[in-house]
Amino acid sequence: MKETLVAGMTHELRFQVTPSKTVPALYPESIDFSAMPGVFATGFLVGFLEWACVAMLAPHLDEGEQSLGTHISVSHDAATPPGFEVTAKVSLVSIEGRRLRFDVEAHDGVDLIAKGTHMRALILRSKFDEKLRRKIEAVAR
């Protein structure tokens, strides 16, 4: 990681909720999900918060580095229908070696819809891919 990555940095990301990001679309194979209300799905909300963190980190990573989510603790407190724009606000709280801790929240223009914390780990993509390859080969034997 570059020296420009420091605790206290913040980032905002905006996204318009579409029907493809609602609960019925989360797992179309699931009859149970298909019967649920067409509102922004918690699973997609989590991905949106991760996206905001990844976008914040991107200019501060060295070549070949990426980050992966390792933990998330987020409330989902209000329903957001398609057509609404959601805004994620993320703040890098701490850097401990290759572990990064964020405070995260999202608002839909009417309600604070989510708030919590998120942890990410910096990885070297080449090393990660090699470990994954070995895991796949081990199962194939």
What pLDDT score does 71 carry?
Answer: 98
76 is catalytic: yes
What pLDDT score does 123 carry?
Answer: 97
Residue range 10-140 forms a domain whose CATH class is: alpha beta
87 is catalytic: no
What pLDDT score does 64 carry?
Answer: 97
Helix (H) or strand (E) holding 7: none
| pTM beyond 0.85 | yes
Residues 6+ apart with CB under 8 A from 58: none
What pLDDT score does 18 carry?
Answer: 98
70 is catalytic: no
3-state secondary structure string, 64-133?
CEEEEEEEEEEEECCCCCCCCEEEEEEEEEEEECCEEEEEEEEECCCCEEEEEEEEEEEEEHHHHHHHHH
Q: Which of 11, 42, 60, 65 is catalytic?
A: 42
Q: Which of 4, 11, 63, 76 is catalytic?
A: 76
What pLDDT score does 141 carry?
Answer: 79
Residues of the chain with pLDDT under 70: none
Q: Which of 4, 22, 50, 137 is catalytic?
A: 50
Averaged confidence pLDDT in the chain: 97
Can you give the residue ranges of every domain in the chain?
10-140
Cα–Cα–Cα angle for 6, 45, 116, rounded to 5 degrees: 50
Residue that has been written with the tokens 């819809």 in this structure: 113
Helix (H) or strand (E) holding 15: strand 10-16
Spatial distance between the Cα atoms of 136 and 130, rounded to a whole number of angstroms: 10
